[in-house]
Amino acid sequence: MPEATIGVIGGSGLYAMAGLTDVEHVTLETPFGAPSDAYVIGTIAGRRVAFLPRHGVGHRFSPSEVPSRANIHGFKQLGVQYLVSISAVGSLREEYAPGHVVVPDQLYDRTKSLRPATFFDEGLVVHVAFDKPLDRTLADLIEQAAHAAGATCHRGGTLVVIEGPQFSTLAESQENRRAGFSLIGMTALPEAKLAREAEIAYATLALVTDYDCWHPDHDAVTVDSVIQVLRSNAALAQEIVRQVVPLIGDGFDSPSHHALASAIITDRAAIAPAKRKQVALLVEKYL
């Protein structure tokens, strides 16, 4: 099977980057079903990188339908250790303007339990630490790459994740601002939780497309307005990816790479063989 240590998950354009060489399309099956689409593996700066469109080519999956367990497991099958998430977000802060990019440091979950959020169920209980949901070192490298690419880049803040697919009501947007959140999106969770369980270092490059609906000088969010900003930022996002790959280089040791070492609470003898087989790629070294 082809291998890549660096992964990128995001939207249209990131799997068709100019300058990507030695391209392979890899269709995977996982114990958690099929991923969103085929993985596109290519070479950037001498490194093999695996790309996956989160919503599938043609944007077929709503945020609640994205098969995040299969997507993350597929990256693990390919050998990915560092995963850069590209996400379109709304801004809840005046200074984070449409067209800017943000590297957040925290997540807040306001999804509604419609999305499977763990690999570990059915008789296997695992509690991973998640106080720092985004890998600090990887976030540092993404920020460095964004500046090198010429982006207006901000660092820090909390990305609140809602269920969608509807955009926020005005009351919800105002309450999220009162809570001190900086950004709002629909896809970083459970993706980040699953990456932690898969012992993959994960961080987010957030592309600001709008001001949600709180801003008195801006219209309500529409798909057309979001797509317009995304199209204008596609080349910038691709350049940030090109810049971050050589910065990751041979990689670094992340706390995420050892997340399961002390997280499995179930008695090993009590784990059903079928469950053990399903998650063998993730936990076998600890069993």
| Residues catalogued as catalytic | 210, 212
CB 36 within 8 A of CB 75: no
| Angle made by CA atoms 248, 258, 81, in degrees to the nearest 5 | 30
What's the DSSP call for residue 125?
-
d(CA 18, CA 41): 13
Place of tokens 């950004």: 183
Indicate the annotated binding residues for phosphate: 12, 54-55, 87-88, 187
With H, G, I as helix, E, B as strand and everything else as coil, classify residue 139: helix
For the record, the structure tokens of 273 come out as 């063989």
Q: Are 65 and 165 within 8 A, CB to CB?
A: no
Q: Are β-strands 101-103 and 201-210 bridged in parallel, bridged antiparallel, or unpaired?
A: antiparallel
The binding site consists of 12, 54-55, 87-88, 186-187, 210-212
Q: Which residues are annotated as part of the binding site for substrate?
A: 186, 210-212
3-state secondary structure of 242: helix
**Phi and psi angles of residue 285, each rounded to the nearest 5 degrees, phi first:** -65, -15
